[in-house]
Structure formats: structure tokens, C-alpha cells
Amino acid sequence: MADDASSPDSRPPDSPIIVWFRLDLRLADNPALRAAVDSGRRVVPLFILDDADAGPWKPGGATRWWLHGSLERLAADLAERGAPLVLRAGKAADVLDTLIEETGAGAVAWNRRYEPWAIARDKEIKAALKDRGLDVASHDAALLFEPWTVETKTGGPYKVYTPFWRACRARAEEIARPAAAPRAVPGLDPAPASEALENWGLRPTKPDWAGGLRETWTPGEAGARARLDRFLDEAAARYDDRRNRPDLPGTSGLSPHLHWGEIGPRRVWHAVEHARAEAGGAAGEAMEAFLQEIVWREFSYHLLYHFPDLPDEPLDDRFAGFPWADDPDGRLVRAWQRGRTGYPVVDAGMRELWTTGWMHNRVRMITASFLVKHLLQPWQAGEAWFWDTLVDADLASNSASWQWVAGCGADAAPYFRIFNPVLQGEKFDPDGTYVRHWVPEIAALPDKYLHKPWEAPSAALDRAGVILGETYPAPVVDHKQARRRALDAFETIKTGA
């Protein structure tokens, strides 16, 4: 739905309109683009590399790699329809001013973002442009329900997921059907100058760590649609019982596409709802479980909007004084980052993350819990590493999830529930397929010892060619001791000791 479309009209009604693309890198189901095309004005599509505005939350390495590919696709799709994408780097307000000057644009449209820094910046820009007589309209593209539209019975934000889910589910009929991409986007001739994408340095050069990302992903709107179709064909009907298994292709892999808005949640929702209604029975229920995950994303945005300190400060302020352990030379955090903790499922996850830019949700929970509870390191250290290495790094989902795992977030896992990485590995990777793939140096161990190599007799280690401490690390901490230490640390904030 559009917001604030009117202004004192000092600009000619047929002057061009700038469509400022942000986290909505798609043509279909893009209300800002659709409104611009429908306005009959010529369209100037713009993407701003706005690192300066985002401060510490500018895109990390893996999302920058993704952005390059996504912009390439978006530029090709727009050029085909008649309006080349203009790329400019800098402070958004300055870039917009310059482009308005160059093109004589009389209107600007965008789809809303919900990060605190983006909200503050966009408000300022909107006010300044309106003061100058431009038509400015922001639209709703990234969520099923905007954060301020879902309220508890007493009128405040939700802090518990299940009632939030119920409230969203009850309003499902309000979710608009996604609009088709415009057939033509009439642009300016000549088109405004664009910076060259290659010059933005979004992709790594030396060392080129992105080989695994290239093999795994196809950024862009078409890649997103293909992922959704494949999920519906191959995995949706069994989502509920396979989604916790990192060894199986049980989830959609849509997260980076959703983050960059190459596909919107409305399209995903309607496609899955349709499949659910057709399938019925157990398959239908499995798809309902998937819709609940889409609503976890909504819940994360709801939390970020209502609690803007979410990325930095624990929601539960008892945790502000949590006695984290020292790690003076960074040895523990480094072992975790590199997948060298000696706990196979943790190491598999961290290596999957480094290689592909993605990690299975179950393993995200295991690895995050390991950092925060076994290594007693602040959740913000993990949040920062994920921010840099995930292709789906998303301020709302990342901070809400880290706080959830750390026990200080909304509806969080209780701090005293400490995952045992051995039992988690045995339960969710029962044949060891996942660990053997990502930790090949222990692949020849028998199943019985795969998730706990330190318990293997020396003959079994010999046969598998494993020398603990040499070919594969010995555990960096002992599970039982680490668990005890974490519980003691929690006692101090519980009691204020």
C-alpha cells in the first residue's frame, strides 16, 4: 500500500520518476515500480550503494557478493524493458539530489525498509524531497504484515511467537496476490550515466573465496523463482519431518532471495498456500509448518521495529552484565569461525557457512549455542561473523535469532537449555552424511564415533587415519565442564551475584 503520495506540486506531472531499488531487487510484485509505471511518467531505476548510511550494518562480504549478481540480473531485466538501471555510490540523500538535478525528476518512489538506520534516513529524505515539491511515495513490499499493523489485544508489540503467528494466520486473507512484472518500463533517452558495477568491488578478488558461493547459488529474480518451484516440487510436502536434517535437502534455500527481495513473501505465501490446499493431509500440514517459518521472519522484523536496539543490546537486560569468558588472543572464537572446535557437527556447520555462505537452521542453532554457552563468548561476536559470512545476512533475522539462542531475546530458548553437540549431531545427522561431507578428515571413522572422535579407541582412530590434535582438533572445551560453567555464569545474572 502506498503512503504519502501527495505534495505541493511544483514539478511538471510528466517529469520522470525515480524508482529507488533497495531490498526489493525484482520486477514482479514490486509496488513501487508498478506505481511508477502506472503513473505514465518515464522511469529512472536507481540503486544506491549506501554503505555510509548503514554504518556498522553495511552488507558483509557474502551479501556483497550476492548483491553483485543480483544487480547484474536486475539491470538486464530492466534494460530489456526499456529503462537501464542507474548505479551510484554515496550517501543516499546526496545521490538522489544529484540525480533529480540531472533528470528533472518530479517524483521518487521506493519500497520500505525496516532497519532502524534506514527508517531514520528515509524519513529525513522523504521530508526534504517533499519540502522541495517532489511527489514521494513509499510502498510495502518486503513483509506480509508491516510491523506496526500487528498488535496484541492490549495494543503493544508481541514478544511471544505463537500468539504472533496466530494473529498473522487469522489475517491471511489480507495478503495481496503478487502483481506480475510490468511488460515495459519506459525510460529516459539518453539514460542517466551509471557507475560500473565492476568498479564497486563487491566480489572478492584476492583471495577469491567465492567459488563455493558461485557453485551453490543463482542470485536474481529468476533464480529465486526456480528455488521456490523446486522446493514446491521436491521438498515442501515433507518439510515438517525433514527440515531439521542438515543431511537432506529439506528446506527451501530461499533466505538470501528473500533478504534481497528477489522474491517477496507474498508470492511465497500464496504459492505454498495453493500447494497446501491441493495436497491436504500430512503434506498440507508439512506446508503449514513452512508458513510458520515465513512468519518467524515477520516476527523478527516485528521485533527489530519495536526494539531497535535488538542488533546490539540484549532484550532481557539481565544479560547486559553477563560474565562472558576471556578469549584474549581470540583463540576460541577463531577455532569456532574456522570449524576447528573438535566437535564435528559444529565444525561441519562453520565450514558449510564459510564455503557456501549458508548454514542449515538446525546447525545455526547448534553452532550459535556452542559459541555462547560452551565457549561463553558474547552473542554479538557470533552475530558479527554471521553478518559477514552469510549470503542471507539480515539485520532482523540475524539479531533476533542470536538473541533467541543466547537466551536473552524474545520468546527465547531458556539459557539453561544447553545443546549437547554430540547428541544433536547423532539425532539430526544420524548416518553422518553431513559431517562426512564437511569434515572429510574424519570421514572414515565408524558412525559410532563420528560425532565424538575423542571416544574412539586408538585402533579405530588408526584405521580411520585420524590423529586427534594433528589431523583433526581435540575438543577445545570439555562438554560437561563447559555446561557447568555456563550454568554457573547464568546463576550470577539470575541472582545478581
Shortest Cβ 81–ligand FAD spacing (Å): 28
Q: Residue 421 or 453: which CB sits closer to ligand FAD?
A: 421
117 a catalytic residue: no
Question: Exactly one of 165, 200, 209, 324 is catalytic; which is it?
Answer: 324
Shortest Cβ 152–ligand FAD spacing (Å): 20
Question: Exactly one of 296, 313, 420, 454 is catalytic; which is it?
Answer: 296
Residues 6+ apart with CB under 8 A from 267: 28, 29, 178, 228
Question: Exactly one of 72, 273, 285, 293 is catalytic; which is it?
Answer: 293
Shortest Cβ 36–ligand FAD spacing (Å): 27
Nearest Cα residue to 448 out of 440, 456, 439, 459: 456
Contact set with ligand FAD (CB under 6 A): 243, 251-255, 258-259, 293-294, 296-297, 300, 361, 364-365, 368, 386, 390, 392-394, 397-398, 401-402, 405
Nearest Cα residue to 15 out of 37, 43, 47, 48: 43
* Alpha-helical regions (H) of 61-151: 61-81, 92-103, 116-131
66 a catalytic residue: no
Q: Residue 124 or 312: which CB sits closer to ligand FAD?
A: 312
Shortest Cβ 119–ligand FAD spacing (Å): 19
* Surface-to-core class of residue 187, CB atoms within 10 Å of its CB (0-12 exposed, 13-18 middle, 19+ buried): buried
Q: Residue 293 or 327: which CB sits closer to ligand FAD?
A: 293
- For helices 221-234 and 265-279, give the axis angle rounded to 10 degrees: 20
324 a catalytic residue: yes
Cis peptide before 59 (omega within 30 of 0): no
For CA atoms 400, 406, 412, 413, give the dihedral sign.
positive
Question: Exactly one of 379, 385, 387, 438 is catalytic; which is it?
Answer: 379
Q: Residue 300 or 377: which CB sits closer to ligand FAD?
A: 300
Shortest Cβ 166–ligand FAD spacing (Å): 17
User: What Rg, from alpha-carbon coordinates, does the chain have?
Assistant: 24
Question: Exactly one of 244, 361, 441, 454 is catalytic; which is it?
Answer: 361
Q: Residue 11 or 259: which CB sits closer to ligand FAD?
A: 259
Q: How many CB atoms lie within 10 A of CB 435?
A: 26
* Alpha-helical regions (H) of 82-114: 92-103
199 a catalytic residue: no
273 a catalytic residue: no
110 a catalytic residue: no
Residues serving a catalytic function are 293, 296, 324, 361, 379, 402
